[in-house]
Structure 1
Amino acid sequence: MPECSIVQKSWSQLTLEELYSVLKLRTDVFFVEQRIDEEELDNRDQEPSTEHLWIADASGAAAYLRVLLDAEATHLDALRIVGRVVVRADRRGEGLAQLLVARVMEQHGHESMLLHAQEYIAPLYAKFGFEVFGESYIEAGIPHISMYRAGR
């Protein structure tokens, strides 16, 4: 199996090469492949509390997600928001997103969390205890669902 070591850094710890690799992955998938035409760079990446997690290989970032920390809960008591989960096309099906989510659960599983998932991938998050709430909605032309996980 190809490399699967997880890297975790805050904005101030990212090197230029790491930042480029992560942003290239996000834009290749969200803009080029999925044709999402909504804002990708929302300034949340730069917040000191944002955690960037990724798995890299010789071609760069193969999988990525970020964890945000909100000052106030937007749903029940969830302050942590998992988002921007993405896997490069040539590495899909290897469980890389699961590895990243599992790391987040190891570190923050005692806290309540929220995420907004593309509907087709909701079963991945359900494996980690996330439950759907509210109605399905269209975001950037793609069906999404909101999911919540109570702290343990």
Structure 2
Amino acid sequence: MNPGYRIRAIVVASTILVLPDCAHAFELTGAWATSADQCGKVFIRKGRANQVTFRNLSGVYGKGFIVEADRLRGKFEICAIKSRKDEGQTINIIVGCAQGIMMSNVQFFLKTVDDNTITRQFPGVEGMDATYYRCKI
């Protein structure tokens, strides 16, 4: 057997053995609303960059947020993502938010239901969970 072939076979076999153990983070990037049917009333694309943003009266139709690479945006706040830890179906996110001259850290616990549905959990407070749906804008 060709020595080069053996090396390639070992590399391929090693890769196959390693792949199942690789943890892939859930893709949060995008717009999320409390009602999938109301996405078009909560979010709109604007500007030359065709950026997703909130409609003027979005709060009438539901709540939502926008996740970008390094920040999370609400209707009235922008928060920098300071850390993120995926543990199975739970995502623990800590964001730093500026409100006026005050800076505060906020911790989110999100549970992935499926690729397009997440639930924000409030540990220690039962019945306060909020479900969000990915918007295809």
Does TM, normalized by the shorter one, top 0.5? no
TM-score grouping bracket, smaller chain normalisation: under 0.3
Larger Rg: 2
| More strand by percentage | 2
| More helix by percentage | 1
